[in-house]
Structure 1
Amino acid sequence: MTERVIAITGGHGVLGRAVLEAALGAGLTVAVIDHAQGHAAPDGVLELGGIDLTDADQAQAAFAAVIGRFGRLDALLNIAGGFVWQTVDDAAPAWSRMQALNLATAVNASRAALPYLKTSPEGRIVNIGSAAALKPGAGMGPYGAAKLGVHALTQALAEELKKTSVTVNAVLPSIIDTPANRQDMPDADPAAWVAPADLAAVILFLASPESRAVTGALVPVTGRV
């Protein structure tokens, strides 16, 4: 087992899987924390399914399990989240749901992981923001507001942790090249979008010891959009 242990929330989504594959390729030890269940874990990976990270107690229990298995935690990658396109006058507003899936999950996971990350010589938190949140278009209100909350969490927590070993940064992707996005936007050119593997590479750099001089950064990863 490598000395460096990372936890990936939302590890069964398209981006989460890309990060998992890249992390294993880099020789990292990985725990995957996800609401989904029934996924087979690659050799050496701790699979924690059925975890609702909108519940602070479940988040605490999940990270206690990571420590119980590996004895340490060096980086938290907050990839868990969700997306909905919805105008403000929709009859079933999704604002609270977007806040729960995107912001509350990151807050709860970060709070649960922090005691362990602070004991690492090079602790890291990497969040997933959104370039679209900087100037939300029509239908992007609920999602954009939640991701702006993630941006604020990133910058505030980075300031709070400046006297520790832990850095906190976020990537701000534009459109990620996923099967769902290709289906929803059949006339777009996915070659201009962000490949999950390319975004994973940026995330893993921010999770590495080499990124120690960077904290509180909101890093655009926007392809050619």
Structure 2
Amino acid sequence: MNLQGKRIAVTGAAGSLGAAVVRAALDAGATVAAIDHAPATGAEMKNLHEFGGVDLSSSEAAERTFRAVGEKLGGLDALVNVAGTFRWEKLEGGKLATWDLLFNVNLRTAVASCMAALPLLVQSKAGRVVNIGAAGAIKAGAGMGAYAASKAGVFKLTEALAEELKDRGVTANAILPTTIDTPANRKDMPDADFSRWVKPAQIAGIILFLLSDRAQAITGALIPVAGRT
């Protein structure tokens, strides 16, 4: 996939999926702003700019960060919202704090990032937004209520944004993965068949296609990425 000249911001860039998206975008020739709540690593790579220690659930922090991204990259062509987290907790005996946490990290960060990035994206000739939803939000299982609700919010954010921007040259789509093959998931589910899980690099490849000029006709799509689960 050729993304030469594209300027891309990736949130949650320090996580397994975010890092895979950053690597793939750089390999495709893009300039990347890697944004994360974790401190910047100080890595020095051509066309990579780190923005660490950012709380994207704060509108002020999001606006400040994307202003800096726009200045550093000279604009912005795409936003990939990867930032997210997971908790398994049943409603019985559960805590409202878990719902607040998952709402803030999985949905609020995406909303704040979109709001802050839109002034830059609409100036691009082919702006792109790709959000990370979850296949598990289509039908919530026991213990999945808070997570599924937050990711279902990502679905509706994506659909509403696509409608809002369809006449302004900006597309908005979401990826709906099943279990992703990450070190954390392998640790939590040591008896699972890891070969059936979706690899971060596979998801990154689909995201890169959606960021490309070839995907201009795709917007408002919620794309399942199920591997063999």
State the TM-score, normalized to the length of structure 1: 0.97
CA displacement, residues 127-184 of structure 1 (integer Å, 9 cap, x when unaligned): 0000000011111111000000000000011001111110000000000000111111
Looking at structure 1, the residues matched to 79 and 152 of structure 2 have their Cα atoms a distance apart, in angstroms, of 19
Counterpart AA for 1:35: H
Question: Which of residues 40, 44, 64 is equivalent to 1:61?
Answer: 64
CA displacement, residues 43-84 of structure 1 (integer Å, 9 cap, x when unaligned): 331111011000001000111001111111000000011111
CA displacement, residues 25-53 of structure 1 (integer Å, 9 cap, x when unaligned): 10110001111004123233111101100
1:130-209 alignment to 2 at 5 Å? 130-209=134-213
Counterpart AA for 1:178: T
Residue 87 (structure 2) pairs with residue 84 (structure 1): yes
Question: Are 2:40 and 2:51, in contact at CA under 8 Å, matched by a contact in 1?
Answer: no
Question: Which of residues 28, 33, 39 is equivalent to 1:26?
Answer: 28
Q: What secondary structure is seen at the aligned counterpart in 2 of 1:158?
A: helix
Q: Which ranges in structure 2 are unaligned for 5 or more consecutive residues? A: none
1:95 positional shift: 0.6
Question: Are 2:85 and 2:106, in contact at CA under 8 Å, matched by a contact in 1?
Answer: yes
State the TM-score, normalized to the length of structure 2: 0.96
CA displacement, residues 92-119 of structure 1 (integer Å, 9 cap, x when unaligned): 3301110000000000000000011001
Q: How many residues align?
A: 225
1:92-103 alignment to 2 at 5 Å? 92-93=95-96, 94-103=98-107
Residue 216 (structure 2) pairs with residue 215 (structure 1): no
Q: Which residue number in structure 2 is paired with residue 39 of structure 1? A: 41
CA RMSD after TM alignment: 1.2
Looking at structure 2, the residues matched to 90 and 168 of structure 1 have their Cα atoms a distance apart, in angstroms, of 37
Q: Which ranges in structure 1 are unaligned for 5 or more consecutive residues? A: none
Instruction: Give the share of equivalent positions with the same residue, in percent.
Output: 53
